[in-house]
Amino acid sequence: SSDKKPLTIRQYQSMAEAHIFPAIGSVKLSKLTSPDIQKFYNRLAVDGKTAKRKNPVTGKMEIYKTGEPLSAKTIRNIHDILSKALNTAISQGMLRDNPAQSVTLPKVIKKEVKPLTEDQQKDFLKAIKNNDFRNIFTVILFTGLREAEACGLTWDCIDFKKGTLKVYRQLQRNPKDWSEFRFVPLKNSKTRTIKLSPYVVDILRKQSTKQRLEKMAAGEFWQGWKDDKERESWYIFTNETGRFLNSATVYENFKKITAEIGTPEARLHDLRHTFAVISLQNGDDFKTLQENLGHSSATTTLNVYAHVSEKMKEESAKRQQ
């Protein structure tokens, strides 16, 4: 569909290739029944999880089953793809009814967000003190940016005088060639401006200085901006030769640090959750938090962090007893 982003289309194709085609791809549309689809979904819930590995003989990447159950959310995503495809078949006169409409889907159990505790925050900040990725980690933690948004920041996003950060795009893999990255619109395609704390402004100033020093040190090996004009639209977070940082690299380094401090289960996205909790603790309302996080509505923010707010109220009530 033309209204879908390239990465979403790539995800749809991957799900179809990994799950739908192998299971029911050979069944004629006129023969496909609701019980067939129900059995397909039930099987996914038992051992439907897949992964990719390189074939040692051909050298090509292949999909294989891990023997683990597929999550309810992923099964529902597969159902959406299949159901829409069958509705298209109906609209083109290839099918009379949609057999996917009368199946029972597994219930999605919403995962509770897990922000870093105060002790974990201290351990994390201490662990990244001399880390090459310190500045991007710190900015994510104190702005709530998504990984791809942080990687896609360019120097024109920063207004040092006003102390603001404009977020208007993100850096993602090219679905047609995963070795390439490109800018794509935000999740809800809505630009937002974040008021930065003096601490974050100082971090970004230090990043600016660090990048200039790295350019001097790299000399002819520098792959980044060539002059100040080009620098205005260049990436804020780069490696020692001026190349942009992609979210996969940032994530891998984050996991190394969390393993070192004894929280290997922590995800990079948890820094965003931590920012949200800190904001609520500091008295921000859900509307302000929604705008800072870039959620499509305050309802989304409320759904994700309502339990955090309730927990804070309970703890406050206990302190007053």
DSSP 286-313: HHHHHHHHT-S-HHHHHHHHHHHHHHHH
The per-residue pLDDT for range 109-134, each reduced to its tens digit, is 777 788 999 999 999 999 999 999 99
Classified as helix, coil or strand, 137 is helix
Each of the 321 residues of the chain gets a pLDDT tens digit; together they read 445 666 677 788 888 988 999 999 999 999 999 999 999 999 999 998 887 788 888 888 788 888 889 999 999 999 999 999 999 999 999 999 999 999 999 988 777 788 999 999 999 999 999 999 999 999 999 999 999 999 999 999 999 999 999 999 999 887 777 678 899 888 878 999 999 999 999 999 999 999 999 999 999 999 999 999 999 999 999 999 999 999 889 999 999 999 999 999 999 999 999 999 999 989 999 999 999 999 988 888 988 888 776 776 666 556 655
Q: How close are the terminal C-alpha atoms of the chain, in Å? A: 57
The per-residue pLDDT for range 9-63, each reduced to its tens digit, is 778 888 898 899 999 999 999 999 999 999 999 999 999 888 778 888 888 878 8
What's the confidence (pLDDT) of residue 95? 92
Classified as helix, coil or strand, 86 is helix
